[in-house]
Amino acid sequence: MIFKERVKLAIEFKKTDRVPVQIYMTPEIQEKLTKHFSGRDLLEVFEIDFRDVSAVWKGKFKKHETLTYDIWGTGYKEMKNEFGTYSEAYDLALARIKTIDDFKRYPWPDINDYDFSTIEQQCNKYKNFAVCIGDAGMPDIVNGVSRGRGMDQVLIDIATGDEVGMAIIDKRVDFYYEYLKRGLESAKGKVDIVCLGEDCGTQNGRLVSPEVFNKVFQPRLKKFYDLAHNYGAKAMMHSCGDTHEIMPTFIEMGLDVLDAMQPEPKGMNPEKIRKICYGKLAFCGLISTQQTLPHGTVEQCRAEARHRLDVIAKGGGYIFAPAHCIQPDTPIENVIAIYEEALGHKLN
């Protein structure tokens, strides 16, 4: 069974030869694993069923001696801890937008600075795999805007319906909608999955009230799900935290796969959420990156992997993956152990 077919059948809750597998890594873990496997391509080592295609940014970035800027004008500073390095938002340019006039004068990125001409060629290269376009940063309303505006301010904007704040949010939403639309058009039907992101939960429950979700998030997210379906692709959305209360709404909206499923929050018991969603919403994730992978033994990691394979993957609807990017303090033997369980053989 080829990779593409395996993913398609799993999402449709049909029988496959093995569970599809995905991997998310921090650069430090990727470096350690690459060294362990003597420089081999990790996507091949772990038999990953997915491949990404993307447009090429041809525009300019703001230059600075110590900060790195993104296309939205946010400047990032490299911050180190004992385990790894993270790019943290430092120059919050969007926070300086106070009025609609400021909004109109701001140097927003131009979608025409993306080159989509190689998308179909990339799809052809990965024709045996489940081809994905997009990522967890699209549209990523809360996290994406907060990196340039501040988390507190974005949540206030949403709660109050602030004119300036909502205009910024819609600028991001519309930009990534157009990016994905052009990408899908360029792919000519060869994209299998549109990847999206919006953190709708916290460790203790939903991020916003049902009223706010329905008013602000639902219409903006649903149009991305519809876009995927209009081009014959599935919609797959990353969401951290406890989203069990929102899952029926995701199903009504047409989401196909919920990604980065965290098993730690109280409401995210894998068996319980499977009952809520079986046959209607597939899962990707559920291997703990907060507890089991970094702090468990090899056998505990194998046991969690076997549970997901024997219980959650039974009958389809599951993509085996870590719940988030595998963090730098994770022993690589634990990572190897879970994938050996998923693939059913030793990795050499």
pLDDT of residue 232: 98
For residue 93, CA distances in Å to 69, 73, 141 come to: 10, 6, 16
Domain that holds residue 332: 3-58+106-343
Q: pLDDT band for 84, please (50, 70, 90 cuts).
A: confident
In a domain, 312, yes or no: yes
Distance between CA 142 and CA 213 in Å, rounded? 12
Exposed, middle or buried by CB within 10 Å (0-12, 13-18, 19+), for 72? buried
Q: For 126-150, write each residue's pLDDT tens digit.
A: 999 999 999 999 999 999 999 999 9
Residue, of 82 and 214, whose pLDDT is higher: 214
pLDDT of residue 199 exceeding 90, the answer is: yes
The tokens for 28 are 């430090």
CATH code: domain of residue 308: 3.20.20.210
In a domain, 17, yes or no: yes
In sequence order, the 6+-apart residues with CB closer than 8 A to the CB of 224 are 138, 139, 176, 177, 180, 194, 196, 235
In a domain, 70, yes or no: no
Q: pLDDT band for 80, please (50, 70, 90 cuts).
A: confident
Q: pLDDT band for 274, please (50, 70, 90 cuts).
A: very high
In sequence order, the 6+-apart residues with CB closer than 8 A to the CB of 309 are 19, 320, 341, 342
b/e map of 207-231 (b: 16 or more CB within 10 Å)?
bbeeebbeebbbebbbebbebbeeb
Mean pLDDT value across residues 69-88: 92
In a domain, 321, yes or no: yes
For residue 172, CA distances in Å to 98, 247, 264, 335 come to: 17, 24, 31, 35
In a domain, 92, yes or no: no
pLDDT of residue 118: 98
pLDDT of residue 112 exceeding 90, the answer is: yes
In a domain, 90, yes or no: no
pLDDT of residue 166 exceeding 90, the answer is: yes
The reported pTM is 0.96
In a domain, 13, yes or no: yes
139 upstream amide cis, omega within 30 of 0: yes
Q: pLDDT band for 82, please (50, 70, 90 cuts).
A: confident
User: How far separated are the first and last CA of the chain, in Å rounded?
Assistant: 22
Q: How many domains does the chain have?
A: 1
Q: pLDDT band for 57, please (50, 70, 90 cuts).
A: very high
Mean pLDDT value across residues 44-61: 97
In a domain, 72, yes or no: no
